[in-house]
Amino acid sequence: MSADTGDTGDHTAVGTVEHREHDDDVPSGLDHVRARSAELFALMRDADGSTAQRAGARDDLVHLHLSLVEHCARRFRNRGEPFEDLVQVGTIGLIKAVDRFETDRGVEFSTYATPTVIGEIKRHFRDKGWAIRVPRRLQELRMQIGGATGELTQKLGRSPTPRELAEVIGCSVEEIMEGIESSHAYATLSLDASDDSEDGPPAMLASLGVEDSNIAHVEIRESIKPLLEGLGEREKRILLLRFFKNMTQSQIAEEIGVSQMHVSRLLTRTLAQLRTSLEAD
CA 7, chain centre distance (Å): 39
Using alpha carbons, list the distances in angstroms from residue 116 to 19, 101, 112, 122, 146: 23, 11, 7, 10, 24
pLDDT in tens, 31-52: 888 888 889 998 988 888 888 9
Reported as a single tens digit per residue, the pLDDT across 47-104 is 888 889 989 999 999 999 999 999 999 988 877 678 898 899 999 999 999 999 988 8
Label residue 177 by pLDDT band (50, 70, 90): confident
Q: What is the pLDDT of residue 63?
A: 93
3 state SS for 207-262: HCCCCCHHHHHHHHHHHHHHHHHCCCHHHHHHHHHHHHCCCCHHHHHHHHCCCHHH
CB count within 10 Å of CB 65 equals: 26
86-103 b/e (C-beta count within 10 Å ≥ 16 → b): bbebbbbbbbebbeebee
Q: Which domains does the chain have, with CATH numbers?
A: 7-128 (1.20.120.1810), 136-190 (1.10.10.10), 216-280 (1.20.140.160)
**pTM metric for this prediction:** 0.41
Res. 277: pLDDT tops 90: no
